[in-house]
């Protein structure tokens, strides 16, 4: 049976009824994906009114381009969303706007240029092989394994230390606690509260964020000492910490670097772990696609070279399809810096613009078979057109994720190292339900049965 004919991957049941503001408030605290009415998967735009502000969910590709590509400075990131992540991320590039964001990108972007991906490849490969070696036969929740593997990649490429390094292991453990305790939104996303007003972050969330930042500070200070002594390894951290802003000549201070490392860990570990776990589930439920990945992977790993990554073509499309069906960041929020006309509706300054990969990637008027798993779709005219106009797992435009190219090497490579060694099937009686924590995860984990390939 072909992959396209298999049962559609699960998603939360869409809600056909109208959802009140207070229902949304409750659902956002529990799970943002469960709040979605069915009509949003076919609407070009939807308007939501609250007593305090107006929001527009935008699925029209032309409007998405306007916000992300054509006029990004007129649609800055919303501080309402940033409030929920600020205890961990501080003033990182993920949350800033305007001149501060532009300066940060001028320093960070050179570290992720093409040549640096080649340099990072051996560390990625080592992390994947270590992940495969850690696995044992039998049933297990695969999400902790993908989190472990993705964190290992980040530590090896950023600080040249494996996950079993003492500080790396402690950061990883603390981050697992943080991921499940931090909702996407907090009070400031709904109410016009002043800066001095308490944000009501969960006590445990704030405590864990402080612990993570202390550990990152230790790593950052050690690296600064190594740079001063001329003994620092040539990895991403060294590159970022020694790059000067071409306009001002400034480098990141230690405090600024802690903010950036926090977002590198979030974006480079949590999002990759989410996408990898869902990709493995999709392959477990589509055995013919899995065998194709296994054969492709075994051939690649017979001579694993960066220059041969293009031979993992089907594996790359599987990872891309996982990003489509289960985008790690399901929604992004911008706000209007001035009054705007949105498909004939007036949006005042400060209106919230919700860009939703979760809806755009499954839009019934854009994609063929939008809820189905079909890695071959990207070779079709519809698939190619949607890749250009309706596929934004890493955002798009000037604010596209700096590590997008990094992720599209890491994801297929980790899939290859795991599937070359292991055959996976879904555990009977367990169907994962996607929910949104910091990223799209399964409510009760993703349970798979592993069998070593002979």
- 166: confidence class by pLDDT, cuts 50, 70, 90: confident
Q: Which helix (H) or strand (E) holds 347?
A: strand 345-347
* Helix pair 203-229, 254-265: axis angle to 10 deg: 120
Percentage of the chain exceeding pLDDT 90: 55
Instruction: Single out the residue of 107, 113, 145, 144 nearest to residue 406, CA to CA.
Output: 113
CATH superfamily of 3-452: Cytochrome P450 (1.10.630.10)
Contacts of 194 (CB under 8 A, 6+ apart): none
Instruction: Single out the residue of 64, 20, 32 nearest to residue 342, CA to CA.
Output: 64
Chain position carrying tokens 């298999």: 6
pLDDT value of residue 343: 93
- Tell me the backbone φ, ψ of residue 426, rounded to 5 degrees: -75, 145
Edge to edge, the sheet with strand 422-426 lists: 138-141, 447-452, 422-426
Q: Is the pLDDT of residue 34 over 80?
A: no
Q: How far does CA 300 lie from the centroid of its chain?
A: 26
pLDDT value of residue 17: 43
Q: For the segment 63-118, what is each residue's pLDDT rounded down to a tens digit?
A: 999 999 999 999 998 876 666 677 777 888 888 889 998 999 999 988 887 678 88
Q: How many CA atoms lie within 13 A of 281 on its CB side?
A: 33
All structural domains of the chain with their residue ranges: 3-452
Hey, what are 343's tokens?
């498909």
Q: For the segment 193-224, what is each residue's pLDDT rounded down to a tens digit?
A: 444 334 444 556 677 788 888 888 988 999 99
- 7: confidence class by pLDDT, cuts 50, 70, 90: low
């Amino acid at each position: 049976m072909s992959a396209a004919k298999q049962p559609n991957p699960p998603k939360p049941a869409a809600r056909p009824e109208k959802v009140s503001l207070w229902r949304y408030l409750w659902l956002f605290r529990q799970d943002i994906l469960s709040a979605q009415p069915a009509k949003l998967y076919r609407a070009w735009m939807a308007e939501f009114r609250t007593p305090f502000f107006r929001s527009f969910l935008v699925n029209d590709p032309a409007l998405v381009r306007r916000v992300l590509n054509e006029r990004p400075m007129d649609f800055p990131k919303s501080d309402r969303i940033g409030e929920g992540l600020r205890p961990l991320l501080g003033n990182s590039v993920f949350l800033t706007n305007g001149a501060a964001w532009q300066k940060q990108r001028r320093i960070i972007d050179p570290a992720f240029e093409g040549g640096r991906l080649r340099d990072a490849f051996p560390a990625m490969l080592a992390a994947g092989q270590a992940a495969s070696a850690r696995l044992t036969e039998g049933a297990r929740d695969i999400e902790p394994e993908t989190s472990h593997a993705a964190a290992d990649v980040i530590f090896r490429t950023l600080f040249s230390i494996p996950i079993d390094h003492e500080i790396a292991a402690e950061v990883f453990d603390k981050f697992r606690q943080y991921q499940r305790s931090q909702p996407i939104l907090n009070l400031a996303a709904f109410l016009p509260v002043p800066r001095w007003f308490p944000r009501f972050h969960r006590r445990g969330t704030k405590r864990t964020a402080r612990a993570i930042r202390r550990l990152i500070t230790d790593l950052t200070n050690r690296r600064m000492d190594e740079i001063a002594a001329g003994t620092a390894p040539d990895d991403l951290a060294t590159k970022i910490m020694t790059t000067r802003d071409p306009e001002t000549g400034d480098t990141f201070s230690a405090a600024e670097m802690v903010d950036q490392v926090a977002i590198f860990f979030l974006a480079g570990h949590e999002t990759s772990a989410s996408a990898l776990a869902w990709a493995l589930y999709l392959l477990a439920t589509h055995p013919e696609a899995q065998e194709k990945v296994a054969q492709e992977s075994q051939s690649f790993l017979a001579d694993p070279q960066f220059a041969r990554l293009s031979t993992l073509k089907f594996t790359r499309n599987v990872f891309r399809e996982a990003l489509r069906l289960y985008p790690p960041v399901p929604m992004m929020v911008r706000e209007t810096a001035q009054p705007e006309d949105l498909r004939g509706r007036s949006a005042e300054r400060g209106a919230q613009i919700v860009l939703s990969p979760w809806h755009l990637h499954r839009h019934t008027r854009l994609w063929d078979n939008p809820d189905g798993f079909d890695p071959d779709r990207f070779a079709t005219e519809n698939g190619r057109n949607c890749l250009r106009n309706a596929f934004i797992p890493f955002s798009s435009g000037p604010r596209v994720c700096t590590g997008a190219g990094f992720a599209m090497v890491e994801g297929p490579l980790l899939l290859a190292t795991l599937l070359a060694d292991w055959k996976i099937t879904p555990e009977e009686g367990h169907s994962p339900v996607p929910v949104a924590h910091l990223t799209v995860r399964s409510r009760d984990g993703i349970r798979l049965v592993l069998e070593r390939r002979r």
